[in-house]
Chains A and B, each alone.
Chain A
Amino acid sequence: MRSFATFAVVASGILLAACARTPPPTQDVTVSLATLSCDQAFTTSRAKPVGLDPEDPVAIEFDIQHSSPCKLDTASNKQLYEVVRLPSADSPYLLTISSPKIGGSAFAPTVATLSQTEDVRRIYAHDAFLNRGNKLSLSIEAAPEDRFLVVSSHADIVGDQRSEITTHITSQSHYNAVSGISTNLYYGSESQRGYTMSYTGKVIVTTMPAPSRALEPPSSRPSTEKR
């Protein structure tokens, strides 16, 4: 009887745990760097490496935090940043930088690529990042000469609050016992959420082989003519 009671307690605990909702992920929102002192130049000494696979995407995730290096931009705005060491490559490849919207915030990004000698090659401002589902994202074709990627916060948009309306369509399958056929029923709804652009937050950097840039061949159609 005692073991049955123990079993019942354990089983109900497991069931309750299964029912408990996992709290949604969240991240800090930082809209002031007033207490930080920042350098004039950035350092690549703690650059994080990212690889390149000829077949599959390679991604690294990191957080730009309050403790990340800080530098002053050309307008003397403070910006937190992290540096990624880009892979050695013989040919161009696809490089995607994403700032996921987590909880009520998203990292306010701007990026630059640097040469081996740390000269700036290309700069992409915050407005080059476009909304792709649950993240702000920028894809570029990186050249072998791009050796470092600097991901920095962009002071101009930090603190901006953005609101967006999203439509959801869900389906439920219903089984008709009489006909033995399942039917999908569709339900639509709408949600509105907001997020604040932040000096800090998660960043995902992904490399992929460059996509083919050939025009798709005209669709071939099997001949139906009699020979």
Chain B
Amino acid sequence: MRKFQRITNEKSKEPTKEQLVRYKDFASLSHKYERLAKRPKRPLYKDPKLFLLLLIIGLMFLLVFLES
């Protein structure tokens, strides 16, 4: 919750040039965004279909390896 408080002496509430420069960073923002956007929406262990598919592929490879 926000509450307003009265002050008699007026301080400048405008950010300085240095403050603006310090926080302006599109490269970092873009990097963070990519990291978030590329993260798979559902982890592998929570997706039974994909998990089963990978398990079958793994088993097939194992069988082929054992046969040979």
B partners with A: no
Q: A residues near B, CB below 8 A? A: none
